[in-house]
Amino acid sequence: MDRRGDRGSRQRRGAPCGNGTRVHVTVRLFARLREIAGAAELSRQLPDDATAGDAWNALAMEYPGLADYARSVSCAVNETYSRFTTRLHDGDEVAFLPPVSGG
């Protein structure tokens, strides 16, 4: 089973949803993802029913180079590996990690 799940359902950043409230999340990026975005940590506001996949999609729209990693990136919410369908809450930290290789 694919532990990453769905990458989120919204196709555009800031799509209207829920009752219009938003959640504030901290996004952490590692390795090549950090290089593409030019920052290790970003602060974002997302719709109140946003998922980790929605956060990823918003970042990929803002930083198109991230799209190359869409099928291989993992995510963690509040330091726990999570599915991209995991709903985010105000104050959450979502981390995106590229695949790791080594020997």
| Helix-strand-coil split of the chain, %, nearest 5 | 25, 30, 50
Displacement of CA 23 from its chain's centroid (Å): 13
In tens, the pLDDT along 46-102 reads 999 999 999 999 999 999 999 999 999 999 999 999 999 999 999 999 999 998 876
- pTM of the shown model: 0.78
Which domains does the chain possess?
Answer: 22-97 (3.10.20.30)
